[in-house]
């Protein structure tokens, strides 16, 4: 969801006496309304185009340095990344920011590089000259992304070789959806094929904007808002995807709009106008239905809802629990970013790019073998395929809140610029996204991805010898990792997605949840006021505010190519084995039973604590010195499983969450777990449907799908804004290397590090 703050004059369609009173009141506030209108437009532009980082701590808060140390970063000696120089930080300008880059003259250097501004402009020109668009019918471009070359071509490509450039386009023209390919070399535009049986493409930013503005053209809506005691100038509305619940919702794009009061707070999410829902036709922008079933529910008060640092009482002492902390790199970063997208760090090399639907895509991930020096394939492509967020309230104003944040809203479209020193440390490299608007005009989403080295005091490996051996051995190596981060603010919720690369060959994929709860207005101010049998569907967080129970599922597409494309999926089941009488003093032990999945159905996995397994992706054509097939394993971490009925309409659309692991044969058309057209789909084009074909997957080019899950029962600590909650899973080498791949890395010594002292003692 994307939000827009609304400010409009009241419609003239009110009863005469009410109209007169409103006109007199408004005439005295005309200048204020103009100011609010200006601010609203500015905010829209800010969210949609600019998204500048918010407050940064001054560098003076971080560290002062010993004059004898030439390496310690200071306001006069700031580390500058080689590839992307931010403005020089000095006393007059103490806040480092990512360098602004126009991208106007960007040219692709790699076959997987995203479309450039020049290419997007050419796509738009070619499309508008095509007969489909030439008759002047209304149109919108819902997706314009690189149509990647076939996999074999990319694998065979070497730097300097030519490569084709094509755009894959999803367009709606005169109310019909079209899949198009634009060949940027020849200028040819061709239809890709038929659109999916149901559903609509990802909403454009313009869809979301107009959806929130359209209700204000309806006099009944205006009367209803005023009757609730909310000034239209204080209105903030959300475009809420409606899901699919039967034939009545077919044949037209529908969206539901719900509104809040932003009076006296930036956190309007905590002030819902409960029970007021507008059903809107997204194509005509006309109100289909207004439902108002919450007139007896007060709008929660604004007190204690604002979370901005600037709005805290400046007369009170700052709540500083820890001193500022920073990681210094006296010799500069260990990673480089070539040609804007090719990342090289330690023993890793991979391609990273922003994407309007997935957020960020990691491709061609390869790790260098410490013994042979060879770059070895690990993963061809990995990205966030879909997010499913169902709320557990079946009432009229809530049952439809079952969001698909990637397919409906665009996970990357909702990615906000990252905040230097807070989202990312000062050693970060920032990457921009270049996306098209609904009319095809390109714009830049600045600093939406950051790449940085992280060290949190973790240990790569260690061993200290016991004194009883007489050997004084203490060997320890620090664990430094490389992180690729993006954060999407899908209206109230913030999702932080990290791809973390470790020198031992492990890839950790981590998802953090923060932001603001979607809450429900309530007539109750205390749990003691609630009648015993009434279900609140959540937790009373504050007076008249309920945090509704909900789930989050984040499904990842992992095209594994472990030492080549032909891989197999092995379920290594850990079973109890009982000993025979007289065999051993032991009664039982554990053994590993390997089961190679022959087809897709063999590879479906529901995680069970008391039926444990390891999940290996192996290349049986490549063996280690002692004969083990090389591989990587999926290591699940804290997760949750969907408990919804399989015939529940939201779960039909989100059937990809029925299992935590799926394996399918590689198919370039099967990338989005919820289907290509997710909006109002009926669930006939999902990962679960593809898997029903039960295709062979042994010794094939396979894709692993993994779903991270969260059950969220809100608590008062989540009010008015949530502390981050995280979960992750790992892709870990298993017999991939001949031995410990980081055995030879040296330990740190005092001479390697800068000598710094706290500012108070400087």
Q: Which helix (H) or strand (E) holds 212?
A: helix 205-213
Token pair of 753, please?
């590090």
3-state secondary structure of 359: strand
Fill in the DSSP letter of residue 127.
H
Token pair of 229, please?
């005691």
Contact criterion met (CB below 8 Å) for 379 and 387: no
- 265: closest CA among 227, 234, 231? 234
CA pair distance 307, 516, nearest whole angstrom: 10
Contact criterion met (CB below 8 Å) for 86 and 76: no
Which ranges of the chain have pLDDT less than 70? 1-100, 314-319, 756-762
- 606: closest CA among 645, 568, 643? 643
Give the model's pLDDT for residue 717. Answer: 97
Which amino acids are annotated catalytic? 405, 493
Contact criterion met (CB below 8 Å) for 521 and 545: yes
Place of tokens 């314009």: 144
3-state secondary structure of 500: strand
Give the model's pLDDT for residue 324. Answer: 81
Token pair of 609, please?
């604590």
Q: How many CB atoms lie within 10 A of CB 325?
A: 8
Q: List, for residues 300-342, the tens digit of each pLDDT value.
A: 999 999 999 888 876 665 567 788 887 878 788 999 999 999 9
Give the model's pLDDT for residue 389. Answer: 98
Q: List, for residues 353-391, the tens digit of each pLDDT value.
A: 999 999 999 999 999 999 999 999 999 999 999 999 999
CA pair distance 747, 43, nearest whole angstrom: 50
Q: How many CB atoms lie within 10 A of CB 290?
A: 17
- 260: closest CA among 296, 287, 284, 231? 231
CA pair distance 241, 210, nearest whole angstrom: 14
Positive or negative torsion for Cα 417, 420, 421, 427: positive
Give the model's pLDDT for residue 613. Answer: 97
CA pair distance 547, 526, nearest whole angstrom: 14
Q: List, in sequence order, every beta strand (DSSP E) within 597-640.
A: 613-623, 629-635
- 237: closest CA among 271, 264, 203, 205? 271
SS (H, E, C) 651-713: HHHCHHHCCCEEEEECCCCCCCCCCCCCECCCCCCCHHHHHCCCCECCCEEEEEEEEEEEEEC
- 285: closest CA among 244, 249, 318, 239? 239
Q: How many CB atoms lie within 10 A of CB 375?
A: 14
Backbone angles phi, psi at 331, to 5 degrees: -105, 15
Cα Rg of the chain, angstroms: 28
Place of tokens 């501004």: 117
Place of tokens 């070895």: 376
What residues contact residue 90 under an 8 Å CB cut-off, 6+ apart?
75, 76
Token pair of 282, please?
């997204």
3-state secondary structure of 82: coil
What residues contact residue 219 under an 8 Å CB cut-off, 6+ apart?
11, 13, 14
Contact criterion met (CB below 8 Å) for 327 and 427: yes
pTM of the model: 0.87
- 527: closest CA among 535, 517, 519? 535
For residue 305, CA distances in Å to 82, 225, 265, 716 come to: 42, 22, 7, 12
243, 246, 248, 253 alpha-carbon torsion, rounded to 10°: 30
Q: How many CB atoms lie within 10 A of CB 37?
A: 15
Contact criterion met (CB below 8 Å) for 14 and 220: no
- Contacts of 63-69 spanning 24+ positions with Cβ under 8 A: 63/324, 63/326, 63/328, 63/756, 63/758, 63/759, 64/756, 64/757, 64/758, 64/759, 64/762, 65/754, 65/755, 65/756, 65/757, 65/762, 66/754, 66/755, 66/756, 66/757, 68/755, 69/754, 69/755, 69/756
Give the model's pLDDT for residue 72. Answer: 34
CA pair distance 634, 508, nearest whole angstrom: 10
CA pair distance 157, 150, nearest whole angstrom: 11
Contact criterion met (CB below 8 Å) for 404 and 420: no
What residues contact residue 723 under an 8 Å CB cut-off, 6+ apart?
514, 717
Q: List, in sequence order, every beta strand (DSSP E) within 228-285.
A: 235-241, 254-261, 276-281
């Amino acid at each position: 969801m994307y939000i827009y703050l609304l400010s409009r004059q009241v419609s003239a369609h009110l009863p005469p006496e009410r109209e007169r009173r409103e006109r007199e009141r408004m005439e005295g506030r005309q200048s204020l309304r103009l100011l609010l209108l200006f601010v609203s437009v500015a905010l829209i532009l800010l969210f949609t185009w600019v998204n500048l980082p918010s407050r940064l701590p001054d560098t003076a808060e971080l560290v002062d340095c010993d004059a004898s140390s030439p390496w310690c970063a200071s306001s006069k000696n700031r580390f500058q990344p080689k590839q992307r120089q931010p403005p020089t930080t000095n006393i007059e300008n103490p806040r480092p920011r990512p360098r602004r880059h126009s991208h106007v003259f960007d040219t692709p250097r790699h076959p997987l590089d995203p479309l450039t501004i020049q290419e997007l402009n050419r796509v738009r020109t070619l499309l508008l000259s095509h007969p489909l668009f030439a008759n002047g019918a209304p149109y919108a471009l819902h997706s314009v992304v690189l149509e990647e070359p076939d996999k074999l071509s990319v694998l065979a490509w070497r730097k300097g070789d030519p490569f084709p450039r094509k755009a894959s386009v999803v367009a709606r023209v005169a109310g019909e959806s079209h899949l198009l390919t634009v060949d940027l070399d020849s200028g040819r535009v061709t239809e890709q094929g038929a659109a999916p049986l149901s559903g609509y493409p990802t909403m454009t930013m313009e869809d979301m904007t107009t959806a929130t503005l359209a209700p204000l053209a309806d006099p009944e809506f205006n009367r209803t808002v005023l009757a609730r005691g909310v000034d239209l100038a204080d209105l903030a509305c959300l475009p809420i995807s409606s899901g699919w619940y039967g034939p009545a919702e077919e044949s037209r794009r529908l969206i539901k709009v719900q509104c809040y009061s932003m009076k006296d707070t930036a956190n309007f999410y905590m002030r819902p106008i409960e029970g007021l829902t507008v059903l809107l036709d997204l194509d005509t922008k006309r109100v289909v239905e207004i439902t108002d079933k919450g007139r007896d529910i007060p709008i929660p008060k604004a007190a204690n809802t604002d979370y901005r640092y600037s709005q805290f009482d400046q007369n009170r002492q700052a709540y500083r629990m820890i001193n500022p902390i920073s990681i210094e790199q006296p010799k500069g970063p260990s990673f480089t970013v070539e040609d804007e997208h090719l990342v090289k760090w330690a023993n890793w090399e991979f391609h990273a790019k922003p994407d309007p639907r997935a957020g960020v895509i990691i491709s061609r991930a390869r790790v260098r073998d410490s013994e042979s020096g060879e770059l070895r394939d690990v993963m061809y492509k990995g990205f966030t395929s879909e997010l499913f967020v169902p709320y557990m309230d079946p009432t009229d104003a809530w049952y439809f809140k079952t969001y698909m944040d990637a397919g409906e809203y665009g996970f990357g479209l909702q990615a906000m610029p990252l905040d230097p020193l807070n989202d990312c440390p000062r050693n970060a490299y920032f990457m921009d996204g270049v996306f098209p608007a609904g009319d095809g005009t390109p714009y830049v989403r600045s600093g939406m991805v950051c790449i940085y080295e992280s060290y949190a005091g973790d240990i790569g490996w260690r061993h200290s010898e016991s004194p009883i051996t007489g050997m004084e051995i203490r060997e320890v190596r620090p664990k430094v990792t490389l992180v690729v981060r993006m954060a999407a603010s899908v209206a109230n919720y913030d999702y932080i997605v990290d791809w973390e690369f470790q020198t031992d060959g492990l890839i950790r994929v981590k998802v953090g949840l923060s932001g603001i709860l979607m809450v429900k207005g309530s007539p109750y101010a205390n749990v003691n006021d609630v009648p015993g049998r009434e279900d609140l569907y959540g937790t009373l967080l504050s007076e008249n505010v309920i945090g509704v129970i909900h789930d989050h599922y984040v499904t990842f597409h992992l095209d594994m190519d472990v030492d080549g494309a032909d891989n197999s999926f092995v379920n290594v089941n850990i079973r109890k084995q009982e000993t025979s009488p007289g065999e051993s003093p032991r009664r039982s032990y554990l053994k590993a039973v390997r089961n190679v999945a022959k087809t897709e159905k063999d590879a479906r996995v529901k995680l069970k604590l008391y039926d444990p397994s390891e999940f290996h992706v192996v290349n049986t054509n490549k063996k280690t010195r002692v004969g083990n097939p090389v591989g990587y394993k999926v290591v699940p971490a804290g997760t949750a499983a969907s408990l919804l009925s399989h015939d529940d309409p939201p779960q039909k659309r989100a059937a990809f969450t029925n299992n935590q692991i799926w394996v399918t044969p590689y198919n370039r058309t099967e990338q989005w777990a919820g289907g290509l057209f997710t909006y109002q789909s009926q669930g006939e084009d999902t990962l679960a449907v593809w898997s029903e074909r039960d295709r062979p997957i042994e010794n094939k080019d396979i894709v692993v799908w993994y779903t991270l899950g969260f059950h969220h029962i809100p608590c008062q600590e989540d009010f008015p804004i949530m502390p981050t909650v995280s979960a992750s899973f790992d892709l870990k080498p298993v017999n991939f290397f001949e031995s410990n791949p980081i055995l030879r890395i040296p330990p740190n010594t005092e001479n390697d590090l800068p000598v710094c002292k706290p500012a108070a003692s400087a």
